[in-house]
Structure 1
């Protein structure tokens, strides 16, 4: 009962902080986001610890590492100089997610490689002329997140797949917003899809833990 209340309170807290962050984006007060954005992933991590049936020492280390690295990515991206460290943090986070998905995979669904590669190729073809000196880092990141999406499909977990798709959508819009044309509307889409992606991944991981009762 107490645990159920704590879970609901954490979701309410996450919703409040998230709402403030979106408002700060909408009114173009990026400096105010230092008060909101760095809180999102710690609340998500707290939610994961609370919602999971595993004890602290059996929490999945790969997935938890991905969440922690995402937190650092969020913080770095708040600074004007922080794009490359932020990109690196999220790149490592996705590698952690890939390892976790690989460990819990059910069956390789090879046909989806074609779909994922088609999207990746189309997106890279579209954005490549705008990247200038960022071509190599962005292409590497794109390949990594596409790999993350493919391995999420192999887990046969709907929540994990939805989370991965939202993550790909968020990063795609972020790239367009940064390198093609910046608008506040796209920035809002980036943040909404990003937070929902992380939340779906947390819910998906907990669902896998509950079904398997073990950490792979």
Structure 2
């Protein structure tokens, strides 16, 4: 009788584990939701209301995925979730491309600062000067091409945003480059990929907005954007089995 009671207790303790969403299904949901957003975007084959539903939903699904990865350093997990929440605010703001642009820019700037805080949880800021030097050169090259097309009133906000974006990507790379071999290095590598993809996505977005329209802009901008967010969320370690 005691053994049967202990077995029932062990089973009841395991039951809540089945309530966590399967990451594979979350990834599939993100891909489908992102595809519907892109299909309804500018020039897409779908109806124009699709982004209003599926653009916020896609980021919410990434947040749900990040929330399941509860095995990481609490500070890193907290700041990654904060960065995703501010990204969601930016996504909603940019549904109004003109009137919501500044609020969206500020929201994503704060998101990048949150990611910087996350990536300094176990690695000091600027731990790899070469990573920061590399991203400084890349960002300066991009900005030099973009700068003549940016309206005068937006130049200061855009400059501040580029600095924060480059710092986030550089710190992610610094975390990876200085991380010793082990289980944490894989997460750091995913964060570094996410930072690079974020820079690529925002570069495409900026040239499409300020310079000249890009063919299939929604496809390239949003696919790299959500790939970046998924990689950053995947940098968090999942809860250990058992």
**Residue ranges of structure 2 left out of the alignment (5+ in a row):** 1-16, 177-187
User: Structure 1 CA distance, aligned partners of 2:142 and 2:75?
Assistant: 38
User: 1:75, CA displacement in angstroms?
Assistant: 0.3
Tell me which moved more, 77-86 or 9-18: 9-18
1:109 aligns to what? 128
User: Structure 2 CA distance, aligned partners of 1:190 and 1:182?
Assistant: 12
1:152 aligns to what? 172
Q: Is the 8 A contact 1:177 1:187 kept in 2?
A: no
User: Structure 1 CA distance, aligned partners of 2:213 and 2:166?
Assistant: 23
Q: Is the 8 A contact 1:3 1:50 kept in 2?
A: no
1:8 aligns to what? 24
Q: Is the 8 A contact 2:67 2:81 kept in 1?
A: no
User: Structure 2 CA distance, aligned partners of 1:137 and 1:29?
Assistant: 33
Larger radius of gyration: 2
Q: Aligned pair in 2 of structure 1 residues 59, 6: CA closer, same or farther (>3 Å)?
A: farther
Residue 124, structure 1, aligned to residue 143, structure 2: yes
Residue by residue, what CA displacement relative to the aligned partner does 1:10-60 show, whole Å, maximum 9, x if unpaired? Answer: 222222211211211223754431011010111111111224336xx8882
Residue by residue, what CA displacement relative to the aligned partner does 1:174-205 show, whole Å, maximum 9, x if unpaired? Answer: 00010001235122111000000000001012
1:17 aligns to what? 33
Larger helix proportion, structure 1 or 2? 1
User: Structure 2 CA distance, aligned partners of 1:28 and 1:83?
Assistant: 24
Choose which of 98, 121, 128 in structure 1 pairs with 2:116: 98
2:90 aligns to what? 73
Number of matched pairs? 208
Tell me which moved more, 80-89 or 99-108: 99-108
Using the size of structure 1 for normalisation, the TM-score is 0.87
User: Structure 1 CA distance, aligned partners of 2:76 and 2:116?
Assistant: 17
User: 1:126, CA displacement in angstroms?
Assistant: 0.6
User: 1:3, CA displacement in angstroms?
Assistant: 6.1
**Residue ranges of structure 1 left out of the alignment (5+ in a row):** 211-216
After TM superposition, list the pairs within 5 Å mapping 1:50-69 onto structure 2: 50-53=68-71, 60-69=77-86
User: Structure 2 CA distance, aligned partners of 1:65 and 1:109?
Assistant: 25
2:234 aligns to what? 203
Runs of 4+ in 1 over 4 A off after TM superposition: none
Using the size of structure 2 for normalisation, the TM-score is 0.78
Q: Is the 8 A contact 1:49 1:59 kept in 2?
A: no
